[in-house]
Amino acid sequence: MMRHPMSVSARRFLAAASALLFVLVSVVAPAAAQAPAVNGSTAAEVAAAVAKDPDKVVQIVVDAVVSHPPNAAAAIVAAAVGALSPAQRKAMAPSAVGAAIRALPGADRIPLAPGCACAAIRVIPSSEHREVVPPMIVAAVNAAPEARPRIRQCAIDEAPALASEINALIAALAAPLPLVDADATTGSPLPGGSIGRDALGQQRCASPPCPG
């Protein structure tokens, strides 16, 4: 079978396509290779800052999240939580996670909240899960309620021993708050110069005294 020689225009098109492919590989590949290094550098800076002044972990996390691309938030949260001591994690990790999610741009909170919460869970030793993970989930859901189903799933993936507790917690967070009767808390006017009843149901009176 005879092969037809490639036309000049076809050869030019092939050469242009090859050149474009080379440019794309040259530009995109180095950028992709550098991305983890940037996140690693950021994480190291955050961890060092938290280790130096753990009481400022929330502010450190917020400052880092707002000054870096949104997709760096999970690495920032993980670095901060991992740099805390066990006692500090119990006290501060939930606040740090919630603050990081709230610091994200509005459009990024729902898609990135599960990653932030579960990156933090991932760096917590399993021996601390029972005390730290539930309040951390509450903080994450409060910061991004619409992300609740995905937060639930990734939290169970990271802390499977707490699956039943996480399911119950997420269900409770999804339940509507009960309506409170105003009279039950503020009281209603009573005869005889009384003002009403306080939150404990005790009568509160003005002068003259309440009738006996």
Distance, CA of 38 to CA of 36 (rounded, Å): 5
Q: Which of 36, 40, 32 is nearest to 78 (CA)?
A: 40
pLDDT in tens, 48-105: 999 999 999 999 999 999 999 999 999 999 999 999 999 999 999 999 999 999 999 9
pLDDT in tens, 115-149: 999 999 999 999 999 999 999 999 999 999 999 99
pLDDT in tens, 155-205: 999 999 999 999 999 999 987 756 555 454 444 444 444 444 443 444 445
**Domain spans of the chain?**
32-174
Mean pLDDT of 20-44: 48
